[in-house]
Amino acid sequence: MTVNTKRLHVITWGCQMNVYDSGRMADVLAPLGYAPTELPEGADMVILNTCHIRDKAAEKVFSELGRLRLLKLAREAEGRKMILAVAGCVAQAEGAEILARAPYVDIVLGPQTYHRLPEMVARASRAAGAVIDTEFPAEQKFDFLPDAAAPQGVTAFLTIQEGCDKFCSFCVVPYTRGAEASRPAADVIAEARRMVDLGAREITLLGQNVNAWHGTGADGLAGLVRLLAEIDGLARIRYTTSHPRDMDDALIAAHAEIPALMPFLHLPVQSGSDRILAAMNRKHTADEYRALIGKLRAARPDLALSSDFIVGHPGETEQDFEATMQLIRDIGFAQAFTFKYSPRPGTPAAGAGMQVPEAEKDRRIYAVQALLREQQAAFNAQCVGLTIPVLVTGPGRHAGQIGGRSPWLQPVHAIGPVSLAGQVVEMTVTASHTNSLTAILKQERICA
């Protein structure tokens, strides 16, 4: 057994796939003696796992690097080393610029090469000068990652698919994560089993286009979910993020037929205007999205929906924006994420004419957020009085409290013993808030 003698601090931005990747990077470094630490002060290695999706996300990396440089210098003054690594999507997109702007960075690595971290760390420890690895190697990193993984807790993320071939006008993901690739069903099932052995009761399957999963050993995502649902001790399955174009009938049927598949779906639509959807290269209309939601709700009437919206895409007029507001009113979302369009270098929309002024984007995002907040509050309010199965995840924020998750992904707080963590228990909802529910235990245990 390796004795953990070095401290590793990881800072994560971006999507859930980055959260998963950060965990895996720590797993890869564990055999080298690195153990996670909460603070960068005193760390032997710091990894920034970055996001390039919007301009602000990328800028944060450079300000954090400036702060870490001071820590690194202070450590060097004591004759000790701090390896500073930049990973993730900013590293992939702007590797050279990072080294130009922050020459004190030791390692730059893209999302597809972190299985090679031990070798990079060895090189960085030996020599002066930065190590950069932003290839898309032919070998799939998953085949080279250790089986041993630190437990994630009662709820866990599992990446099953990576990359994107869709090329939406505004998005960097096809460039930073590369082409779509799916992991074989057998690998996914083996990893899910290990997660359950480590205490996971809910697994969220991840992919930039998770419902385009087409790995070997199962018939599409629906087939894979059916296989996972057979794992003993796995009470709940979710998946994110999906594209409307890949929402096939088999997956819709899975929502009707598989009790472990939770009645919550994040299905980004981005806009309610056909003109803008076409300009975005989303390859579906607003009415096709409405029809899809109709089918999903027919299959699973209690399905709650979440989405992503972008306001101010180039060419978006007041009328286009109104079409988005109308789509939101027509569908009714339980939750949603809203973004002001942010031009990303190298993407088609960034060079397009008719950019929307910032002040107009601000006005539109306030309006759309107000409407979505109202819908979220209404959705939460209708849960009051219901008795629902809650997966207890651990202690709550206050003494004596436990926290958990509803089937519809709402955080739930109740008074109760932490010993219930990992169990699905019935609770009666007594109050609703913007982002969460308060409930009381109905002592009975319904599922281990």
- Determine the Cα–Cα distance for residues 290 and 296; give it in Å rounded to an integer: 10
Q: In this chain, which stretch among 290-298, 341-349, 397-405, 431-439 interacts with ligand SAH, using CB under 6 A?
A: 341-349
Q: Which is nearer to ligand F3S, 92 or 406 (CB)?
A: 92
Q: Which is nearer to ligand SAH, 95 or 268 (CB)?
A: 268
Nearest to 354 by CA among 397, 314, 303: 314
208 sits near ligand SAH (criterion: CB under 6 A): yes
183 sits near ligand SAH (criterion: CB under 6 A): no
**Minimum distance between the CB of residue 226 and ligand SF4, rounded to whole angstroms?**
25
**Minimum distance between the CB of residue 243 and ligand SF4, rounded to whole angstroms?**
5
Task: Pick the binder of ligand SF4 from 10, 121, 168, 261 (CB under 6 A).
Answer: 168
169 sits near ligand SF4 (criterion: CB under 6 A): no
Residue 446: CB atoms within 10 A of its CB come to 11
Q: Provide the pairing of β-strand 161-162 with 181-182.
A: antiparallel
201 sits near ligand SAH (criterion: CB under 6 A): no
With 0-12 CB in 10 A as exposed, 13-18 as middle and 19+ as buried, what is 77? exposed
Integer CA distances (angstroms), 384 to 336, 374, 391, 432, 435, in order: 21, 16, 17, 6, 14
- Determine the Cα–Cα distance for residues 219 and 407; give it in Å rounded to an integer: 25
**Minimum distance between the CB of residue 17 and ligand F3S, rounded to whole angstroms?**
5
181 sits near ligand SAH (criterion: CB under 6 A): no
Partner whose binding site includes residue 176, from ligand F3S, ligand SAH, ligand SF4, none (CB under 5 to 8 Å by kind) = ligand F3S
**Minimum distance between the CB of residue 347 and ligand F3S, rounded to whole angstroms?**
12
Task: Pick the binder of ligand F3S from 17, 84, 121, 311 (CB under 6 A).
Answer: 17
Q: Two tokens at 93?
A: 């997109």
Task: Pick the binder of ligand F3S from 52, 72, 313, 405 (CB under 6 A).
Answer: 52
**Minimum distance between the CB of residue 179 and ligand SF4, rounded to whole angstroms?**
11
- CA atoms in the 13 A half-sphere facing the CB of 19: 12
Q: Which is nearer to ligand F3S, 308 or 322 (CB)?
A: 308
With 0-12 CB in 10 A as exposed, 13-18 as middle and 19+ as buried, what is 370? exposed
